[in-house]
Structure 1
Amino acid sequence: MAEFEGRIAGHPTVRFGNGDQPLVIIPGLSDSLQGDETSRFTRLLLKRYYMRAFADDYDVYIVSRPRELPDDTTTRKLAANYAAVLEEIGQAAVLGMSMGGLIAQYLGSDHPANVQKLVVSLAGPHLSESGAEHVSKWLDSALEGRWSEVYLGSVEATYSSTGARAAYGTLLQLPGVVRQPPYPNDFIASAQACLDHDSTAVLSSIEPETLVLGGELDVLFDADDLRSMGGTIPNATTRILEDTGHGAFEERRTAFTEAITAFLR
C-alpha cells in the first residue's frame, strides 16, 4: 500500500491505496480550516471511512490547497496550481468535491492534459441564490472571528437529515471543539472565491469525460443547475441523488461512491 503525507507542488497531500491508477481528490471549502498537517484522526477517517471505497482500486491522493492563500485567490487560479500537482503525479482521474468541484471545472477546461476522467461532485457552475446567502454569512462570521457560527452554519447547509444536523451540532458545542483555524484568511479567501465562481462560459470547453454528481436537496448548488451543466459539458453524464443534499458523500455514501467508481471504470 502506498503511504505518503507531505507536499506535492506546495500542496499538503495525503496518499494511500492499493491500486496503480492515480485518483486525485480535491476537497471542499472546509479544507481551508485545516493546518499545515493532517491530524492522525482525520487521516484515519479519510482512509477507513470517507474514501475507503477507492482504496482497493486506486492510488489515492487527497490534495489540499496551499496554506496562506493570497487575497486575490480564485478557483481558476487554484486550478492552475492543481495542474502543477498533476504534472508531478502524471495522468490521473480527478474527483472534485464542493469547492474542489468548482476548481475541477477549470482544471478540465484550462488544464486537461493530465486529467483522464473528471468527477465534478456537489458543485454547479455557480452557487445557488440560497448557497450565496449561506457562504456570505460564513464569510461575515469569519471576518468577525465568530468561528462557531461558521462551523454550525456549515452543518446546517450540508446535511438534509435532522439527525445528522443534531449530532454534529451537539459535537461542535462541546468545549474546545471549535477553535480559530490556523490560517483564518485561507477560509476568508476561499469563501470569496466560491462566491465569485461562475464557470458558465467555459463549460463547453471541458475536454475530459465528466461525471456531474450531486444531491437533489442541495441548498448550496441547485440540482437544475447541475443538470444544465451536465448538458453543456461535451462528454458528460449527470447523476442526481434523491433524498440528500450537499452531504450526499455521507448521507448517501454507498450510492455516492458507487456512482463514482462505476464512472471511473
Structure 2
Amino acid sequence: MSVSLCFKFYNFTSAPRTIFGEGALETAAPYIADFGKKALIVTGKIITKTGLAAKVQDVLSVRGISSVIFNDLPGEPDDKMIDAALSVFKSEKCDFIIGLGGGTPLDTAKAVAAMAVLPGKLSDYAGKEMSGDFTPLVLIPTTAGTGSEATKFFVYTDTATDAKLLMKGDALLPKLAVIDWTYTISSPVSITVATGMDALTHAVEAYTSKKANPVTDIYCLDAITRIFKYLPAAAKDGNDRTAREQMALAAYEAGVCINNSSVTLVHGMSRPIGA
C-alpha cells in the first residue's frame, strides 16, 4: 500500500516593521531617521489644518530631518495628483516619503515611492507586478479602515480612460507602518462608520477568499470580532479611547488579511462604480 502526502505552502508577507500605540510616532523616530535627511509628507488639507502634519515635521526636525508637505489631494487618487506629488518629490530632492492620513494620502504615497524609481507612466504597470528598489516609505494612518499601511496594493483612477486601477507589488509595502490610534479620535461619525465598514468588508472578503489560509484566518476572525464589538461604540462616542484603539488594530489586521489572501468579487465590482 502506498501513501501519498500533500503539502500546501502559504506565502505570507507584511511590512518589515510596525509600531502601534499612543505615541508611536515618537517611538518610530529613530527608525525614520535611517531613511534619509529630507521627507516628502503626502497628506490632506484637513490633516494639515489639524496640526498633525506640523507635528510630524517637528518630530522629524528633532532628528535633523527636513520635510516638505504635499496636500493637494482633492479626491481619491488619480494620475494627475500622483504626478504632481512626484514632481514635488523630485524638485525638492527628497530622500523618502511619509504618507499621513486616510486611504488617499497613503495610496498616493505608495504610487510616488514606486514612480520615483520606475520609468514610464503609471498606467504602463497596470496588471503587472510592480517591483524594484523603491523609495523608502513610511505610512501613518489617521482612519481605521483601509488598512493601506499593511498592504502591497494601491488604487488610482487613470484620467485618460476613467478606469480605476488596482496596482500591486511586494515592493509597495512600507518600510515602516506607524499606527497611533489617537489620530483617529477627530474622525467624525460618518468617516468612522464608513471606514469601519471598509475594514469589516476586507476581513470578511479575505476570510471567504479562495486564497485564504490558516494564518490569514486568524487575523480575519480577530478583526471581525473587534469590529462587531467596537465600531458601534466608536460611532456612538468618538472619544471612546478603547473603541478607537481596538478599531485601529482591527483595520490593521484586516489590511494584513487582504495583503495575503486578497479580496473577492465585490471589490472588483466597486472599481468601475468608484471611477
Which band: TM-score by shorter chain? 0.3 to 0.5
TM-score of the superposed pair, with normalisation by structure 2: 0.35
Please identify the structure whose Cα radius of gyration is greater: 2
TM-score of the superposed pair, with normalisation by structure 1: 0.37
